[in-house]
Structure 1
Amino acid sequence: MAIVLALSGSPSPASRTARLAELAAADLRARGHRVHTLALRDLPAGPLLAAQGTDPAIARAVRLVAEADALVVATPIYQAAYSGLLKVFLDLLPRHALDGKTVLPLATGGSAAHVLALDYALRPVLTTLGAQVAQGRYVLDHELGATADGPALPAADSADALADAVARFASALPRLRGGTWNPALLSSA
């Protein structure tokens, strides 16, 4: 099965965006894929903002992207655009970093007025990096909750829509892993 890296581009430690990414990751794991998560807020801010690709934590994060078969890219939407934290990280990636990779964009926001940010803000940058961009999902902040078992989408229609997006994404993933994965990168990232 495929190795998927789920990136959370939220700067918030109590992030609805991270909850959404975890829901997608859990679904992909249930389908047999190996899914690893990376919260971009955990990267060192100074080296990230200074584009210091030689910083060990930044270099590991870039290698995680390179070694993954596919990515889930989750971001909050602020002022009709994806997060600045995600933008700073994407700017560090080599020009063709996502060549041959399928990417599922996910977004959270406070208003349905920003639903098009996935297609008009995030999709173009992912495509420029070479990604095959799957049909994403935008979820309103109030639709995301948490239970004792983890994150949840209490509304059935929202949960079904996310499950459909993940299912379409999963159907595009490779059945067999072609390369190698170094799990040690995750423990020190």
Structure 2
Amino acid sequence: MSTVLLLSGSPSPDSRTGVLLAHTDSWLVARGHEVQTLHVRDLPTSALLVSNTEHPAIRAAVSMLHRADGVIVASPVYRAAYSGLVKAFLDLLTDNALARKVVLPLATGGTQGHLVAIDYALRPLLTSMGADRLVPGCFVLDRLIQYGEEGGAIAPDARAAVDNALEGFDEALGTQLAVAS
């Protein structure tokens, strides 16, 4: 199957975005995809903020993205925008780094008002990076995701919406593979 990169823009290791990505990882692995996760927070801050693409950790992270057939960009929403970690990492990339990759934006946030972050902030950013196979994203309210020491859970209705977005992503990956063959 395909190689998928999960790009986490969450600044915290224990977060609702992390629960969402854990579910996403399991869902994709169950369908035979190879999944790799990049937590941008784990990259060296100074190298990330000055766009030091020669730093070994930054070079490895960019290489992960280049090798992926699909990329899922997940971010908590703050003040109606994606996290600065997402922006800092994407700023390292060339203009067409996401071209010919299936891309799915996922976001979590505290209010329904944050829903616009996908269509009015994250989607345009991804398009500017060359994402020409961008599938409809999914936003999940924080209150619909519970996390704790044993992992976390997504409320059934929200999980169904996430799974629907993942189905679209999976279908687009299948189409991409068929065309490439």
Q: Judge same fold: TM > 0.5, yes or no.
A: yes
CA distance in 1 between partners of 2:75 and 2:170 (Å): 20
Q: Deviations over 1:34-88 (max 9, x none)?
A: 1111110000001101110100000100010000000110001011100011101
Structure 1: gaps (5+ residues): 179-189
Q: Which runs of 4+ in 1 moved over 2 A?
A: 146-151
Residue 84 of structure 2: aligned partner? 84
**Cα deviation per residue 1:13-46 (whole Å; 9 max; x = unaligned)?**
2121121112112111111111111110000001
Q: In 2, distance between residues paired with 1:147 and 1:78?
A: 22
Q: Name the residue aligned to 1:124.
A: 124
Equivalence for 1:144: 145
CA RMSD in angstroms comes to 1.5
CA gap of 1:147–1:49, structure 2 versus 1, over 3 A, is closer
AA aligned opposite 2:139: Y
Task: Quote the sequence identity (%).
Answer: 49
Residue 146 of structure 1 and its aligned partner are, at CA, apart by 3.4
Q: Is contact 2:16–2:147 with CA below 8 Å preserved after alignment?
A: no
Query: Take 1:49 and 1:66, find their aligned partners in 2: how far apart are those partners?
Result: 20
Aligned residues: 176
> Superposed, which structure 2 residues align to 1:33-182 within 5 Å?
33-131=33-131, 132-146=133-147, 150-153=151-154, 155-174=155-174, 175=177
In 1: Cα distance, 2:102 partner to 2:85 partner: 21
Q: Which has the higher helix share?
A: 2
Q: Normalized against structure 1, the TM-score is what?
A: 0.89
Task: Tell me if structure 1 keeps the 8 A contact 2:70–2:173.
Answer: yes
Contiguous gaps of at least 5 residues in structure 2: none
Counterparts of 1:16 and 1:62 in 2: how far apart (Å)? 25
